[in-house]
Structure 1
Amino acid sequence: MLIYKVGERINSGLKLNTNENIVLNNKNLYFFLNIFKKYVNKINIYPDSNNFILKYIIKKNFKIKLNNIFICNGSDEGLGFLFLLFKNNIFKIPKFTYPFYNIYCNYNKMFKKKIKFKNIINFSNIIFPIPNSPTNEFILKKKILNNINKNKFIIIDEAYCDFYGTKYLNYISLNNNLIIIKTLSKSYSAANIRIGIIFSNEEIIKKLEKIKNSFNSYTINSLSSYLAIEILKNNDNYIINLIKVNYFLITMYNFFKKKFNTFYNYSNFLFIKTNIDFYFFFKKKKIYFRKFIYNKKYYFRITIPKIKYFNIVKKEFFKWS
């Protein structure tokens, strides 16, 4: 059985291998303490299985109807539900993309086809991220819109979409099977609370609710839900954080592009192609990157760090080079 290999967990050193957003959503400790204080007397009761208040805030933020919203315990759980829902179909997934797509197909014993990212929109029953992770490939919006219809499903993973701006929520309708999956882990700097959101037509959302309630009705705890509500309400801080991450990204990209084949990513990471000794050199220095092998070549994903940590990377880089 295939399993997903998470970024190496470390107790010391510089951890740049798991795409956690370096900018905190809210540094105000009282913000968190007030939530704990307000809801600690509810810890003995089950959370709201429908997440109504959080759904209402999502409805308001994303300007979409309540019956088009499904909340899950992280977008990975949402992906798991979608693969269960469509397990009798032949999934088409990009050849080089987020590894969980292939793992879910394997776990559910599903037939799948791996397609070059630039061609996947020409097939039926597809899933792909926009932009593709980790390669930052895009599909023209016009091509996607021309292929949205009722006869096939299109799942767009928008984990990183907030870093580049193009979104597809407005095109969800009962006349098509467009499905959008989002997360609060990346642009919203809230990976620890595990909140994912699926947007689709009412029929698909109802089916997802049935799947969820067939094994666990309480996938979101109250504290995570309340934190998510406050995070989504704090839109000014969210925009400022996107600007900060983009600044750090440009700074890092301008350094590495002179040294390696470096892909500019609309995200919170860089993707570079170089030799394996680069990876092991930095690992010995307790600086951890994410390693990928594709067509017998090595690629490395580096989470965008704050400037003070980037200066550490630069210092060690000059020793390596």
Structure 2
Amino acid sequence: MSRFWSDHVANLAPYVAGEQPKLSKLVKLNTNENPYGPSPRALEAIRAATGDRLRLYPDNESTVLRAAIAAHHGVEPGQVFVGNGSDEILAHVFNGLFRRNGRVLLMPDITYSFYKTYCRLYDVPAELVPLDDEFAIRVGDYTAARTEPIAGIILANPNAPTGRALSLDEIEAIAKAHPDAPVVIDEAYVDFGAESAIALLGRCANIVAIHTFSKSRSLAGLRVGFAIGGAEIIDGLNRVKDSFNSYPLDSLAHAGATAAIEDVDYFDRTRNKVMETRAALTQRLETFGFKVLPSRANFVFASHPDHDGSKLAAALRAEGVLVRHFNQPRIDQFLRITIGTPEECELLCKTLVKILTKTH
């Protein structure tokens, strides 16, 4: 521990991101990036935004972008909060909504690991609720009566890394069971086949949905995310944001993200390609003997009864194919495989055949 650190720093366990390799000629199916490039309209808007005006600060209220997001989702601009990627928004959520006099935050035992990191950073006590034997969320675990009020609930839907999704009825039941606690639905992957909880805002004032431009809109390098909720919740997030960084999005991000959300045709075309390839890859993996969880994300979560997960991941990497392996209880035999192009998935399958044949 350094003598220069604040008291809490030594106890932090930072989030570990997926590998971003420097090597060329790798098939990168490990960090859930979109295999198709950004909207051409987004790229053109970014190019047009370069120039002398970059000497000026960006719009700290992100007025144009929030209006475009609001129009796309059928809400008011005052219900939209934007940030430097959805991870920054999650940080503000933990800081601004879940620090409630030591109350516990409910979340699944297997989910996006950044949640645990933020709990440690912001001193939020967490109660980990086990997924069932098929890695699904049991709604009753979140709706059961409790003796003490909770700080809130956070659920990734579709869940990461499992890919399984809750229905809107299930989310509504959870939200209505805790009307005085924020229920945060992290919808990073919702555009690949799940239903957005934004549809429930009129009935559940405690819901806030968080989205990212990194996945379905292919802008992971631009770092833009947004939350949609009631004006009361959004006001709280703005208070936290403006006490931390009043200018989280630069002018290029504003331009690119606005154009991307307005290009609905490109968005639908590319996400449908991902979903079609996911179905095909799932079928192929099952023919190889893999168990593949039902996914509504741009990845699949798969295990093989006869092959160790870590060894499979290492063997794939040796052949130039990157997938994600989590060395964690309950899921250490699974591989999370990003949906690439059909050609990338075909190469993955050919490589798996080679590995599975060699190890028999």
Task: Identify the TM-score tier after normalising by the shorter chain.
Answer: over 0.9
In structure 2, what residue type is equivalent to 1:48?
Answer: D
Q: If the length of structure 2 is used for normalisation, what is the TM-score?
A: 0.84
Q: Which of 266, 276, 297 in structure 2 is aligned with 1:267?
A: 297
* 1:63 corresponding residue in structure 2: 74
1:96 is matched with 110
- The DSSP-based 3-state class of the residue aligned with 1:79 is helix
CA drift of 1:194 comes to 0.9
**1:122 alignment partner, one of 143, 159, 182:** 143
| 1:58-81 alpha-carbon deviations (Å, 9 max, x no partner) | 111111011111001111100000
Say if 1:79 and 1:223 are closer, same or farther in 2 by CA, change over 3 A.
Answer: same
Provide the C-alpha distance between the structure 1 equivalents of 2:200 and 2:300, rounded to a whole number of angstroms: 30
User: The residue matched to 2:55 in structure 1 has which SS?
Assistant: coil
Work out whether residues 127 and 154 of structure 1, in 8 Å CA contact, stay in contact via their aligned partners in 2.
yes
Match 1:309 to one of 344, 350, 356: 344
| Structure 2 gap segments, 5+ residues each | 1-11, 131-136, 145-149
Q: Which secondary structure state, in structure 1, belongs to the residue aligned with residue 138 of structure 2?
A: helix
C-alpha change, 1:234 and 1:296, in structure 2 (3 Å) is closer
Is residue 281 of structure 2 the alignment partner of residue 252 of structure 1?
A: yes
Alignment-derived partner of residue 181 in structure 1: 210
Unaligned residue ranges in structure 1 (runs of 5+):
none
Partner of 2:163: 136
- After superposition, residues 27-176 of structure 1 pair within 5 angstroms as 27=40, 32-33=43-44, 35-85=46-96, 86-88=98-100, 89-116=103-130, 117-119=137-139, 120-122=141-143, 124=150, 125-149=152-176, 150-173=179-202, 176=205
Moved over 6 A (4+): none
Deviation at 1:18, TM superposition (A): 0.3
For the Cα contact (< 8 Å) 1:118–1:139, is it kept in 2? no
Equivalent in 320, 323, 333 of residue 286 of structure 1? 320
Q: AA paired with 1:245?
A: V
- SS of alignment partner, residue 214 of structure 2: coil
What SS does the aligned partner of 2:171 have? Answer: helix
Aligned partner of 2:138: which letter?
K
Contact 1:25 1:241 in 2 (8 A): no
AA partner of residue 317 (structure 1): L
Rounded Cα–Cα distance in structure 2 between residues aligned with 1:307 and 1:182: 26
Tell me the equivalent position of 1:277: 311
- Shift in CA distance, 175/118, structure 1 to aligned 2, threshold 3 Å: closer
Q: Once the 2 structures are TM-superposed, how far is the Cα of residue 296 of structure 1 from its aligned partner?
A: 6.8
| Residue aligned with 2:210, SS | strand
Q: 1:56 to 1:254 in 2, by over 3 A?
A: same
Measured after TM superposition, the shift of residue 106 of structure 1 is 1.3
What residue number does 2:4 align with? none
Task: Find the aligned partners of 2:49 and 2:121 in 1 and give their Cα distance.
Answer: 41
Q: CA deviation at 1:238?
A: 0.6
Please give the alpha-carbon distance, in whole angstroms, between the structure 2 residues aligned to 1:73 and 1:64: 21
Residues in 1 aligned to 2:49 and 2:62: alpha-carbon distance in whole angstroms: 17
- Identical counterparts, % of pairs: 27
* Secondary structure of residue in 2 paired with 1:23: coil
Structure 2 CA distance, aligned partners of 1:38 and 1:94? 42
Distance in 2, matches of 1:237 and 1:320, equals 37
Aligned to 2:265: 236
**TM-score, normalised on structure 1?**
0.93
- TM-superposition CA deviations, 1:156-176 (whole Å, max 9, x none): 111111111412213225962
1:144: how far off?
A: 2.3
Deviation at 1:135, TM superposition (A): 1.4
CA RMSD of aligned residues (A): 1.9
User: 1:27 deviation in Å?
Assistant: 4.6
What are the superposed Cα offsets for residues 77-96 of structure 1, whole Å, 9 maximum, x if unpaired? 00000000122231111010
Partner SS, residue 175 of structure 2: coil
Greater shift after overlay, 160-169 or 100-109?
Answer: 160-169
Asked if 1 retains the 8 angstrom alpha-carbon contact of 2:158 and 2:164, the reply is yes
Aligned counterpart in structure 1 of residue 29 of structure 2, from 9, 16, 23: 16
TM-superposed CA distance for 1:33, in Å, is: 4.5
